[in-house]
Amino acid sequence: MSYFFEYRGITKTYPGVKALEDVSFGVRRGAVHGLMGENGAGKSTLIRILSGDQQANAGAILIDGAEQKFASVRDASDNGVMVVHQELQLVPDLTVAENLCLGRFPSRAGFVSRRRMIADVQAVLDDYGINVDAGARVSALPLGARQMVEVAKAAMVKARVIALDEPTSSLSSRESEVLFRMIARLKAQGTVILYVSHRMDEIFQLCDSMTVLRDGRLAAHHDSLEGVTRAQIVSEMVGREISDIWNWRARPLGEERLVVDGLAGAKLSIPGSFTARKGEILGFFGLIGAGRSELMRLIYGADPARTGRVMLEGDSYTATDPRQSIRRGIAYCSEDRKHDGILNGRSVEENITISARRLWSKGGFLRPGREAEVAEEQIRQLRVRTPSRFQDIANLSGGNQQKVILGRWLAEAGLRVLIVDEPTRGIDVGAKSEIYDLLYKLAEQGMTILVVSSELPEVMGICDRVLVMCQHRISAEFTRDTFSEQALLAAALPDGQNHSTAA
Amino acid sequence: MTSTLKKLLLGEQGLLVIFAIALVLVSVFVPNFLSTRNVIGLLQAVVTVGLVACSMMLCLATRDFDLSVGSTVAFTGMMAVMVTNATGSIPLGILGAIAAGAAVGMVNGIIIAKIGINALITTLATMQLVRGFGLIISDGRAVGVKEPAFYNIALSNVFGIPTPIIVLAVAFLVFGIVLNRTVFGRNTLAIGGNPDAARLAGVKVVRTRVTIFAIQGVMAAIAGVLLASRITSGQPNAATGLELSAISACVLGGVSLAGGRATMTGVMVGVMILGIAENVMNLLNIQAFYQYVVRGVILLFAVLLDNLRTSSGIRR
């Protein structure tokens, strides 16, 4: 069988780490090829080598039988290779059209022809069914639309190989559909698409063939997905069988602990109210932008509330400051770890002790022994995979970073409510089930846990009760016996007449 | 062999190693370098920049910036002289200088951390404002000291070591402890690592940043008093360009302008490298104009070395 695109014996080492070892696989012309693996398995490195951003220590990339040597990102894109990263690479202050034409502005005698550029780009966008104005500034677009623009950019240069790194992580399901249609079009044009995703559904829906990486090595290559099962892929990814990663068990719930009464703020227009009980895992499901994170941030005091109150075991207050909330026993793990979760450049130890150290430090002085002890305890208890507590947290995988942030709160005393926002986003299967087990354990000890998640199987898998939010409103409530995928999704989707915010 | 050398130079202590090598070379090849007189002169020459670099380190560690320190040193030196002249009391003069420095720092801090204006712009403005105030109150001329005892602040010594050097040593010690052993120091680095995350983790981000600017003002005032005493007058044009020397020293010492990374020993070495370079060039009678070139080269070299270290991945 002849492949249009091939990785041959790719090896990449960083000092002390072998990121990739002798990885070889090929993709046929016009095929969508899935790339899966736990975090740290080497997917990103493989993509980076393709993009020209990094160079392999050994091995080669072949396109249409010809060996390629990419010295830079520019070099790769000139040779028809485009990579759409999770962190988008658009210039926010330029228009969509300018971004798409960057480096190759249509010009006449050195002058950029704005009108022609916008018309050209608009034609491409319309052609792919992307509902975005070519003259709009990128910074004014929602995240999902930006992602689409990035993919359109790859389509516009008529790339021969396009790699998409977790493209749907910031898309609503409707936007994902548009993306999938684009992929189908590109595929029909003979483009090879490398599709990196943690979402099994998408892999099965889109891909013709796939590769699984584990610890920098090729764990499996499927030239066709016929007869391949999810369980098989999961076991290829982790090297062991995971039967039921949810593992939910019934547990007795205690008295009402948290009452949220009509909280609204600058980013949440409709006041939200709900109650949660001791030992309960309460889920919040909805589309991106439904207002779930915004409600959580108001409860925590991360954003100021305009109206409403929080009542915690009878003690009624308006949260104005995260410090206050922590002292009251409420902790919050944010949705975007990189943005407002981890302290970059600081050690695992410091990331764990940052908040709880007030419990033992005296007169503003640290107690290094105690800090180390607490950090070691959390690392052990949460099974954080790190060479030592001195390791810079930025070097840990997503799952381990998440564990460190959970450790930050578990080091606190008297925690009563734990809010986790997208607790397993971008986290591999193995770490996921460890995090779920931890949440169950905490709930059994009486912790009230609020889980925000955009993954339907996850909220249904781990929560005792789910509130669905839609366009800033809590639109429905479900208990375990009334859970159904259709019902939850239906409650999350906006009505036909006012769907403008979901675009 | 080469790999051990590489490890040594690019490792965590790389700067220290290079500093030690340079020190040995200079001691051997530059006549009079190790004489007591020269060493004390060298240390006295770095007091001003060293004191300011201590607080600049905290400032940079939170991703902030302070360009107003040079002006503040001149202004507070002037305040010390003028208040002392007016009241006849040196302690009151020193107190006045420190109050003025703290006030400048607080204003910087409140505008930057509370209102949220860019630190570069804000301190660029206050740098000119404060320099202007200094020129206005002195009418652009040096203000002589009427109280002879004022000279003694810089001239006095403890066991033969001049007081300013003792003050600098104490500052290094105190700031080292603050950075490594206090909640405040750890919070400073945490804010530099990620201000949003630090706030959500319960750190008082705004208050910490304002405090750091106030400390910066106080350190500038201490440096200002010592400088005024040493040059026996309040000079409105003193300490021009000091802010850049202090930032250079910090960067030389491995403090990251992106925040979250700073060590006191690094900054001490940074200060000493700049001081020694200047001192050696003076001893070798190299024209002052070349000193700028050499300082620029040293700074670029340090930044390139740091870049090499980060990209080689040995550091972390």
Mean pLDDT check: name the lowest of A50-59, A365-374, A406-415, B293-302: B293-302
Per-residue pLDDT tens over the stretch B16-56: 888 888 899 999 988 889 899 999 999 999 999 999 999 99
Q: Do A343 and B313 touch (CB under 8 A)?
A: no
Q: How far apart are CA A459 and CA A232, in angstroms?
A: 23
Q: How far apart are CA B238 and CA B232, in angstroms?
A: 12
* Mutation for testing the B interface, residue in A344, A370, A405, A409 having most B CBs under 10 Å: A344
Residue A46, amino acid = L
Q: How far apart are CA A175 and CA B278, in angstroms?
A: 62
In the predicted structure, residue B14 carries a pLDDT above the cut 80: no
Q: What confidence tier does A302 reach under pLDDT thresholds 50, 70, 90?
A: very high
In the predicted structure, residue A503 carries a pLDDT above the cut 50: no
In the predicted structure, residue B314 carries a pLDDT above the cut 60: no
- Residues of chain B contacting A301 with CB distance shorter than 8 Å: none
Q: Do A345 and B203 touch (CB under 8 A)?
A: no
Q: What confidence tier does A345 reach under pLDDT thresholds 50, 70, 90?
A: confident
Residue A377 Cα, gap to closest chain B Cα (Å) = 19
Alpha helix (H) residue ranges in B110-204 = 119-138, 152-155, 163-181, 183-193, 195-200
- Reading the block at residue A186, the tokens are 């590109």
Per-residue pLDDT tens over the stretch A387-406: 899 999 988 888 889 999 99
Spatial CA neighbour of A280 closest among A480, A485, A486: A480
* Mutation for testing the A interface, residue in B186, B200, B215, B316 having most A CBs under 10 Å: B200
pLDDT of residue A215: 79
Ranges A467-476, B151-160, B209-218, most confident: B209-218
Say yes or no: do domains A5-238 and A255-329+414-496 share a fold: yes
Q: Do A355 and B312 touch (CB under 8 A)?
A: no
Nearest beta carbon to residue B182 from set A346, A365, A392: A365
Residue B304, amino acid = L
8-state DSSP, A116 = H
pLDDT of residue A1: 58
pLDDT of residue B183: 96
The CA-based angle B214-B218-B224, given to 5 degrees, is 140
* Mutation for testing the B interface, residue in A332, A340, A421 having most B CBs under 10 Å: A340
How far separated are the first and last CA of chain A, in Å rounded? 42
DSSP per-residue letters across A381-447: HTT---S-TTSBGGGS-HHHHHHHHHHHHHTSSS--EEEEESTTTT--HHHHHHHHHHHHHHHHTT-
Sign of CA dihedral A215, A219, A224, A230: negative
- Residues of chain A contacting B178 with CB distance shorter than 8 Å: none
Q: How many helices (H) and strands (E) does chain B have?
A: 14, 4
Asked if residue B131 lies in contact with residue B243, where contact means CB atoms within 8 angstroms, the answer is no
8-state DSSP, B111 = I
Q: Do B314 and A15 touch (CB under 8 A)?
A: yes
Residue A394 Cα, gap to closest chain B Cα (Å) = 10
CATH number of A5-238: 3.40.50.300
Q: Do B198 and A323 touch (CB under 8 A)?
A: no
Spatial CA neighbour of B51 closest among B254, B227, B196: B227
Residue A331 Cα, gap to closest chain B Cα (Å) = 9
Q: What confidence tier does A15 reach under pLDDT thresholds 50, 70, 90?
A: low
Mean pLDDT of chain A: 87
- Residues of chain A contacting B194 with CB distance shorter than 8 Å: 340-344
Q: How far apart are CA A41 and CA A214, in angstroms?
A: 5
In the predicted structure, residue A500 carries a pLDDT above the cut 50: no
Mean pLDDT check: name the lowest of A60-64, A318-322, A427-431, B249-253: A427-431
Residue B7 Cα, gap to closest chain A Cα (Å) = 12
Q: Do B200 and A366 touch (CB under 8 A)?
A: no
B35-308 folds as ABC transporter involved in vitamin B12 uptake, BtuC (1.10.3470)
Asked if residue A364 lies in contact with residue B183, where contact means CB atoms within 8 angstroms, the answer is yes
What are residue A384's phi and psi, to 5 degrees? -75, 125
Nearest beta carbon to residue A350 from set B190, B202, B314: B190
Beta strands in A139-198 (DSSP E): 161-165, 192-196
In the predicted structure, residue A271 carries a pLDDT above the cut 90: yes
Chain A: residues touching B (Cβ < 8 Å): 14-16, 300, 302, 322-323, 326, 332, 334, 339-346, 350, 354-355, 357-358, 361, 364-366, 368, 391-392, 395, 408
Residue in chain A nearest B199 by alpha carbon = A322
**CA distances, B186 to each of A346, A347, B255 (Å):** 9, 11, 15
For chain B, the structural domain boundaries read: 35-308
Residue in chain A nearest B197 by alpha carbon = A340
pLDDT of residue B2: 64
Nearest beta carbon to residue A343 from set B183, B194, B256: B194
pLDDT of residue B310: 65
Residue B312 Cα, gap to closest chain A Cα (Å) = 7
- For chains A and B, count residue pairs whose Cβ atoms are closer than 8 Å: 85
CATH number of A255-329+414-496: 3.40.50.300
How far separated are the first and last CA of chain B, in Å rounded? 22
For chain A, the structural domain boundaries read: 5-238, 255-329+414-496, 342-413
- Residues of chain A contacting B190 with CB distance shorter than 8 Å: 343, 346, 350, 354
Instruction: Report which secondary-structure segment, H or E, holds A264.
Output: strand A256-265
Q: How far apart are CA A325 and CA A312, in angstroms?
A: 10
Mean pLDDT check: name the lowest of A26-35, A192-201, A268-277, B266-275: A192-201
- Residues of chain B contacting A334 with CB distance shorter than 8 Å: 197, 200
Per-residue pLDDT tens over the stretch B99-134: 999 999 999 999 999 999 999 999 999 999 999 999
* Mutation for testing the B interface, residue in A354, A357, A408 having most B CBs under 10 Å: A354
Q: How far apart are CA B228 and CA B72, in angstroms?
A: 12
Q: What confidence tier does B10 reach under pLDDT thresholds 50, 70, 90?
A: low
- Residues of chain A contacting B313 with CB distance shorter than 8 Å: 14-16
User: Mapping DSSP to helix (H, G, I), strand (E, B) and coil, where does residue B286 land?
Assistant: coil
Residue B131 Cα, gap to closest chain A Cα (Å) = 36
Mean pLDDT of chain B: 91
Q: What confidence tier does A246 reach under pLDDT thresholds 50, 70, 90?
A: confident
**Mean pLDDT, residues A336-347:** 89
Nearest beta carbon to residue B194 from set A344, A358, A366: A344
Residue in chain A nearest B177 by alpha carbon = A365
Residue A462, amino acid = I
